[in-house]
Amino acid sequence: FRHRKTSDAAVAEHEAKDGEQSHEWDRPIEFVFSLISNSVGLGNVWRFPFLAAQNGGGAFLIPYFILYFLIGAPLYYLELALGQFSSRGPAKAFMLAKGWQGVGFAMIINAVFTMLYYNVVISWALFYFILSFRKRLLWADCGYWWNTCACFVP
């Protein structure tokens, strides 16, 4: 990762030469935390334990980690190195090779759809958080039209 202190004159010269603003991390820990925040999402917290339990528990972790170290980590590092090398975002970084031009745009589309999905889930959490301040909780009894005959109150 690019972590070096530069003078304001050097930054201005670099920006004037390329016509684009370049960002460098002030501290290495900021870079590490940005990688972690991009890698660990809600799916890791919610789906992974469910999938592990559904597919064999601890035995599921063996092929998972094998594939992670053989495929996942090298591709993650490749994406990181390509971004560092080109100093561009995903849409322009993959334009280095003609056959890879669509990969960057696919990454952006994937990020947009993931963002939309997570916003829906977060809005549900916010909705139920706000409803939890009511005097009578909607989910505390079975007297509502949406309840089934299997509804019970302990």
Averages of pLDDT over runs of 10 residues in the chain (154 residues) are 48 52 79 82 79 87 91 89 84 83 88 89 92 84 80 78
Residue 16's pLDDT is: 46
With tokens 């925040």, the residue in question is 37
Residue 66's pLDDT is: 95
**b/e per residue, 91-109, with b = 16+ CB within 10 A?**
eebbeeeeeeeebbeebee
Residue 123's pLDDT is: 94
Residue 19's pLDDT is: 58
| Pair of tokens at residue 97 | 């090779």
| Pair of tokens at residue 10 | 């050097």
User: Which residue numbers belong to the known binding site for Na(+)?
Assistant: 40, 44
Residue 6's pLDDT is: 47
pTM to 2 decimal places: 0.58
User: Which residue numbers belong to the known binding site?
Assistant: 40, 44
Contacts of 126-133 spanning 24+ positions with Cβ under 8 A: none
Residue 67's pLDDT is: 94
